[in-house]
Amino acid sequence: MWNYSNYIKKVVEKSYYEMTRKYKLTNNEIAVISYLCEHEKDTATDIVNALLFSKSHVSLSVDGLVKKGLIEKVQDDRDKKIFHLVLTEKAQPIVDELTLRKSDIEKVFFHNFSDKEKEQLQKSIEKVINNIKASTLLK
């Protein structure tokens, strides 16, 4: 069972690696952009919790992406200490390519899967993730 996750990880890493070279970004920067594609206006803390990256890695990635003009920090209306991260127009070509690559990868991953099988797999993975979160494995 442990080898299964290695296949998925390798495919994603290969896809990210090609993009890091093309856009001169780090793997973590690509991962942050990918996350923000699906979660508009989240904070760095949200990214740390979702991607299981260290605070320092997320901070470095966010700072690099801000300097490159690919994301901007928007201050929260209610809590001035909170900054939301938003993709800029300059990031759109990267977002478009990420979207295309994710779609291509999903087509390969789920080739010959019925909708019901995909739904069952998603539910099973969610159970595994919930079990991990409830345990002390990541603490």
Express each pLDDT in 61-94 by its tens digit: 999 999 999 999 999 999 999 999 999 999 999 9
From residue 63, how far is each of 28, 29, 58, 101, 115 by CA, in Å?
12, 10, 8, 25, 40
Burial (Cβ within 10 Å: 0-12, 13-18, ≥19) of residue 67: exposed
The whole-number average pLDDT for the span 29-54 is 92
Distance CA 51, CA 58 (A): 9
Q: What angle do CA 99, 115, 111 make, to 5 degrees?
A: 60
What is the structure's pLDDT at 5? 83
pTM of the complete model: 0.87
* CA separation for the pair 37, 30 (Å, rounded): 11
Domains of the chain plus CATH, in order, are 2-111 (1.10.10.10)
